[in-house]
């Protein structure tokens, strides 16, 4: 099953989720009606048996309908509130759980190992490097959250960092990346938003009881009104528990099978089943339970069971640890090692080793990830080009990697990708005026004369984005002004410059909350006919100066896309503004349409048998735009 099939499966699960939610809501309406009817029967002194024999005799059907609609409205408001809150992306979940963002320069040796593992799995899978958050919890657990690749985050507990070896940590992170890759991440946030409305009923009951606890009830003066309010609060609280029950059942039904798939995909990624198996064994020895009050809200997101449940077998969001281990290790003897006996020695040894190899790790982390993981070609797992990866990583010396892990240094390296020596004086004056510290860093970097850096620009940017995500909105806006000045110094924007600028700005602006992801609205290719014609024609024209050859190549591409209605767009008709409008429209393509367009883009850039640095960077930008894993061969800008 490739990327697009995984995404389709996840969308089918979304429909299944809505059906389950509707059934739970219907059951909740019935329970609320029965409770309020009973309360009303008691208030008018009618025996319950008599009342429920013919409820319409004592209560108008209009009132019953209004109560039902009231429940629906109340749940809808609660779900909408949570949905809007989660529009901030994965960081909303991480912050809600008490997580803090990790940055490479401020990280400990153990935390740097975590950051390196996340980075290597990310690059090998073709998914943008997510922001990493750490939760100060002693248990072993992790989660991935977000609505798109751009706002995805990975959260890890302190216990995970301190208790797991590098191979075990890699297995856990690979598991979380599979949730990103398989479409579970977005599904899980939708589930959280939907269920919040149901759980809100119990929260309302608790709020009523807490507010009434300080109020003195006097039935003689108030006719028992206060007692009825307390009874209402108790009833809503009980109904809330019923809602929690239904919510937990839905979580369990949706997430259990996805956990098995994530384990299998993690083994596929790392080629080291012992890593994730040992991580699960350590969880069995220690614990995966979280103490934060918000833990239950996101229970279906975690690597392992994060909260306790009275009906653990029925409502567990994860399969039993023993079953998960046996799926990975069929011949496991069922024995959980006593890790506490060797914990101190192992931790000290690993901490010392991590410290000694921190510098070495910095250069080798991507190589290890690329070797350990499978190559992703539009969602298809593929093993190849290992030697090429080794060669390319060796070309990135410590001076580059050190800067890419620092916000100021990363800005300097990225600006060098847009640097035109013909405008040296003007650009240096701009930096002198805007940011003297950046000027010094930039001047020192370009003196080192790094050869061939622009050929792997997208690869360089992917390594520097993590550091840039630590910038404040004001700092980023300032850097953006400088970057745009570097790009526009010659009064034109090349395809390479646009592509590189896009893959820098989009993830940073979504992370900082200053850009919203466009909602998918185009469900068939015909709705984007003119825009796709402009895009494919422009890509073909970049490879063929001869108009006849360009038209022949275009015909081959549209046949490969099964889009015979597409018409070639002459180069004199394509302007920069038309290109931008086309891109903005294509960004709104629904997944099935996006797949066909992306295949057309890949076919177009490969049609002459060579992929230039500009074309590779553009494919990177389109992959981001369409939320598709980047085919690995395009990471380094080499010929296909």
Contacts 24+ apart (CB under 8 A), 336-340: 336/281, 336/284, 336/285, 337/281, 337/285, 338/285, 339/163, 339/282, 339/285, 339/286, 340/285
pLDDT at residue 567, rounded to an integer: 92
Closest CA to 299 of 309, 311, 285: 309
pLDDT in tens, 513-532: 888 877 777 778 888 999 99
Contact by Cβ (8 Å): 579, 534: yes
Lowest mean per-residue pLDDT among 32-36, 317-321, 635-639: 635-639
Closest CA to 264 of 356, 353, 329, 354: 329
pLDDT in tens, 223-240: 455 666 777 667 777 776
Contact by Cβ (8 Å): 635, 379: no
Share of the chain above pLDDT 90, in %: 20
Residue that wins the pLDDT comparison between 222 and 423: 423
Residues in Cβ contact with 632 at an 8 Å cutoff, skipping those fewer than 6 apart? 124, 126, 375, 376, 377, 382, 385
Half-sphere exposure of 127 (CA within 13 A, CB side): 31
pLDDT at residue 377, rounded to an integer: 45
Residue 544: pLDDT above 70? yes
Contact by Cβ (8 Å): 617, 500: yes
Mean pLDDT of the chain: 79
Query: Given pLDDT bands bounded at 50, 70 and 90, which one contains residue 361?
Result: very low
pLDDT in tens, 147-204: 888 888 999 999 999 999 988 998 899 888 888 877 777 777 877 877 777 777 766 7
**Integer Cα distance of 393 and 404 in angstroms:** 14
* Best mean pLDDT range from 89-93, 96-100, 263-267, 310-314: 96-100
DSSP H/E element including 375: strand 375-377
Contact by Cβ (8 Å): 631, 558: no
Residue 397: pLDDT above 60? yes
* 249-to-17, 256, 329 alpha-carbon distances in Å: 11, 11, 28
Q: Which DSSP state fits 588?
A: T
Residue 108: pLDDT above 80? yes
DSSP H/E element including 143: strand 142-145
pLDDT at residue 234, rounded to an integer: 73
CA Rg value for the chain: 28
Three-state secondary-structure class, residue 285: helix
**Integer Cα distance of 94 and 81 in angstroms:** 18
Q: Which DSSP state fits 153?
A: E
In the block, tokens 């259990």 appear at 256
DSSP 202-232: HHHHHHHHHHHTTSPP-HHHHTTHHHHHHHH
**Alpha helices per DSSP H over 90-165:** 90-96, 109-125, 158-163
**Integer Cα distance of 252 and 258 in angstroms:** 10
pLDDT at residue 181, rounded to an integer: 77
Handedness of CA 618, 120, 446, 440 (dihedral sign): positive
**Integer Cα distance of 345 and 454 in angstroms:** 46
Active site residues: 176
Query: Given pLDDT bands bounded at 50, 70 and 90, which one contains residue 373?
Result: very low
The pairing of strands 142-145 and 131-135 is unpaired
Closest CA to 315 of 246, 390, 233: 246
Residue 254: pLDDT above 70? no
Contact by Cβ (8 Å): 339, 159: no
Contact by Cβ (8 Å): 421, 371: no
Which three-class secondary structure string do you get for 381-437?
EECCCHHHHHHHHHCCCHHHHHHHCCHHHHHHHHHHHHCCHHHHHHHHHHHHHHCHH
Residue 445: pLDDT above 60? yes
């Amino acid at each position: 099953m490739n990327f697009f099939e995984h995404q389709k499966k996840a969308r089918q699960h979304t429909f299944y989720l809505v059906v389950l939610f509707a059934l739970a809501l219907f059951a909740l309406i019935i329970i609320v009606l029965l409770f309020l009817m009973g309360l009303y029967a008691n208030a008018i002194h009618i025996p319950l048996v008599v009342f429920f024999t013919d409820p319409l005799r004592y209560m108008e059907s209009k009132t019953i309908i209004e109560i039902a609609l009231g429940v629906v409205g109340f749940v809808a408001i609660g779900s909408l509130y949570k949905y809007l809150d989660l529009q901030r992306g994965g960081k909303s979940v991480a912050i809600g759980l008490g997580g803090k963002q990790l940055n490479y320069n401020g990280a400990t040796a153990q935390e740097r190992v975590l950051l390196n593992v996340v980075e290597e799995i990310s690059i090998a899978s073709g998914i943008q490097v997510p922001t990493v958050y750490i939760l100060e919890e002693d248990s072993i657990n992790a989660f991935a959250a977000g609505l798109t690749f751009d706002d995805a985050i990975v959260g890890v507990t302190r216990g995970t960092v301190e208790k797991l070896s590098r191979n075990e940590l890699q297995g856990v992170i690979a598991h979380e990346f599979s949730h990103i890759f398989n479409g579970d991440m977005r599904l899980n946030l939708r589930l959280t938003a939907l269920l919040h409305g149901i759980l809100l009923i119990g929260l309302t009951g608790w709020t009523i009881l807490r507010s009434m606890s300080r109020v003195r009830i006097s039935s003689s003066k108030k006719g028992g009104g206060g007692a009825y309010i307390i009874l209402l609060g108790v009833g809503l609280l009980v109904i809330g528990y019923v809602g929690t029950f239904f919510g937990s059942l839905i979580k369990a039904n949706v997430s259990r099978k996805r956990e098995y798939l994530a384990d299998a995909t993690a083994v596929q990624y790392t080629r080291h089943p012992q890593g994730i198996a040992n991580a699960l064994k350590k969880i069995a020895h220690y614990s995966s339970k979280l103490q934060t009050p918000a833990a239950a809200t996101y229970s279906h997101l975690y690597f392992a069971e994060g909260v306790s449940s009275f009906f653990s077998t029925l409502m567990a969001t994860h399969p039993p640890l023993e079953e998960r281990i046996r799926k990975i290790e069929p011949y496991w003897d069922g024995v959980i090692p006593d890790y506490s006996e060797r914990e101190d020695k192992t931790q000290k040894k690993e901490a010392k080793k991590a410290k000694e190899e921190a510098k070495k790790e910095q250069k080798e982390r991507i190589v290890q990830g690329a070797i350990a993981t499978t190559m992703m070609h539009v969602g298809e797992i593929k093993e190849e080009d290992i030697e090429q990866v080794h060669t390319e990583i060796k070309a990135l010396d410590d001076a580059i990697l050190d800067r890419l892990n620092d916000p100021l240094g990363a800005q300097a390296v990225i600006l060098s990708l847009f640097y035109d020596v013909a405008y040296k004086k003007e650009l240096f004056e701009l930096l002198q005026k805007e940011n003297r510290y950046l000027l010094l860093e930039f001047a020192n970097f370009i003196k080192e004369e790094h050869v061939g850096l622009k050929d792997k620009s997208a690869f360089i940017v992917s390594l520097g984005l993590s550091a840039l995500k630590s910038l404040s909105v004001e700092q980023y806006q300032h850097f953006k002004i400088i970057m745009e000045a570097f790009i526009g110094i010659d009064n034109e924007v090349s395809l390479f410059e646009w592509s590189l600028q896009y893959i820098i700005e989009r993830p940073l602006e979504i992370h900082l909350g200053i850009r919203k992801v466009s909602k998918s609205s185009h469900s068939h290719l015909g709705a984007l006919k003119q825009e796709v014609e402009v895009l494919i024609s422009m890509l073909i024209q970049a490879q063929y100066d001869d108009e006849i050859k360009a038209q022949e190549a275009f015909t081959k591409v549209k046949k490969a896309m099964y889009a015979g209605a597409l018409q070639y767009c002459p180069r004199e008709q394509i302007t920069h503004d038309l290109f931008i409008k086309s891109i903005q429209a294509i960004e709104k393509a629904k997944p099935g349409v996006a797949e066909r367009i992306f295949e057309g883009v890949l076919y177009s850039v490969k049609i002459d048998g060579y992929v230039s640095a500009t074309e590779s960077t553009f494919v990177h930008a389109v992959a981001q735009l369409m939320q598709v894993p980047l085919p690995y061969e395009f990471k380094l800008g080499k010929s296909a």
